[in-house]
Amino acid sequence: MTTSQNFRGILRLNAFLAVFSFLSLSCGLSQNSLHVMAASSLTEAFEEIAEEFKKETQVEISLTIAGSASLASQIEDGAKVDVVAVADEETMKRINSTKRVEEGSLEIFATNYLVLATPLGNPGSIESLQDLKGRISAICSPQVPCGKLSLKLAIQENIDLNPSSLEPNVRSVRTKIELGEVDAGLIYITDVNAKINYITIDRSEQIATNYPIASIQGGKIESTDFIEFVLSPAGQKILEKYRFGAPS
């Protein structure tokens, strides 16, 4: 008897837990928060912007950070989102091809460019893009903006990069550099930290990438306020702190 009672109890508990976890998951995003999707390279800058925005407007920001390409895929698949910020205009065009971008909301809010980064101490003695030949190197995969930009840079400088690895995002390129697994890699100037060295590439700034931001149809009205805040002197100051360039 006791076994069967125990069994029933466990079943009931399981059913309860299942329903409970389902409910709590589906209500995970509170009604008052604004759902913002942002490219990986914006992580720290947008976390700070979200905090400042909350102080000013009491509107909570729920941030989703991922590679621009996966953000685009998620939005194409109908993800519920209010504002999206990606690392190049091409990705925004892709998002807009599903007609989900609110007309007239699109703004360029920052720029970024690539630098040649090496592990501390530069063990591979890399001084320029030319030195990458025959070395172990990593760049972003061409499906993400930093990968597209890397290829564009290679064409501009007429260099065959021949990378050892095409990393899924710029942060994993940086990690491979930090760990010394590669002799060098191409990352954004904004991703440079104290654990790596970097060399600027002469004409890299000329092909800087523009970061677009836009609100998505059916989103909250506060979307406009958030975009305005990103473009405001307060928002721009935060972006500048993380070395993003101002839109021209």
Partner 1 sequence: MTVKISKSIPPLLWIGAFIASIFLIVPFIGLSQRTPWSTFFQIVTEEAVFQSITLSLVVATSATAICFLLGLPLGWVLARSHVKGLKVIRAIVLLPMVLPPVAGGTALLFALGRKGFIGEKLDSWFGLTLPFTTAGAIIAATFVSLPFFVLAIETAASQLDTHFEESSLSLGAGPTRTFFTASLPMIKPAIFAGIALSWARALGEFGATITFAGDNPERTRTLPLQLFVALETNPERAMVLGMLMVIISLSVLVALRGKWISTQ
Q: What's the min distance (Å) between Cβ of 93 and partner 1?
A: 14
Q: What's the min distance (Å) between Cβ of 34 and partner 1?
A: 25
Choices 50-58, 67-75, 102-110, 227-235; region in contact with partner 1 by CB under 8 A: 67-75
Reading the block at residue 147, the tokens are 């990968």
Q: Is 57 a binder of partner 1 (CB under 8 A)? A: no
Q: What's the min distance (Å) between Cβ of 85 and partner 1?
A: 17
Measure the CA–CA gap between 207 and 128, rounded to whole angstroms.
Answer: 17
Q: Using CB under 8 A, which of 40, 141, 150, 190 touches partner 1?
A: 141
Mark residues 72-111: x for contact with partner 1 by CB under 8 A, - for none. xx--------------------------------------
Mark residues 163-182: x for contact with partner 1 by CB under 8 A, - for none. xxxxxx-------x--xxx-
Closest CA to 174 of 48, 74, 43, 50: 43
End-to-end CA distance of the chain: 77
Return the number of the residue (183 or 222) whose C-beta is nearest partner 1.
183
Q: Using CB under 8 A, which of 69, 86, 101, 201 touches partner 1?
A: 69
Bridge pairing between strands 114-119 and 196-200: antiparallel
CA distances from residue 157 to 160, 201, 207, 246 in whole angstroms, order as listed = 9, 10, 11, 25
Task: Provide the sign of the torsion angle of the four alpha carbons 210, 214, 216, 222, taken in this order.
Answer: positive
Helix (H) or strand (E) holding 9: helix 2-26
Closest CA to 223 of 128, 94, 82, 113: 82
Choices 31-39, 125-133, 134-142, 220-228; region in contact with partner 1 by CB under 8 A: 134-142
Choices 32-40, 63-71, 187-195, 236-244; region in contact with partner 1 by CB under 8 A: 63-71
Query: For the purposes of burial, counting CB atoms within 10 Å of the CB of 91, is it exposed (0-12), middle (13-18) or buried (19 or more)?
Result: buried
For residue 75, report the phi and psi dihedrals to the nearest 5 degrees. -70, -40
Return the number of the residue (141 or 236) whose C-beta is nearest partner 1.
141
Q: Using CB under 8 A, which of 33, 64, 70, 224 touches partner 1?
A: 70
Binding site for partner 1 (CB under 8 A): 11, 67, 69-70, 72-73, 136, 138, 141, 143-144, 163-168, 176, 179-181
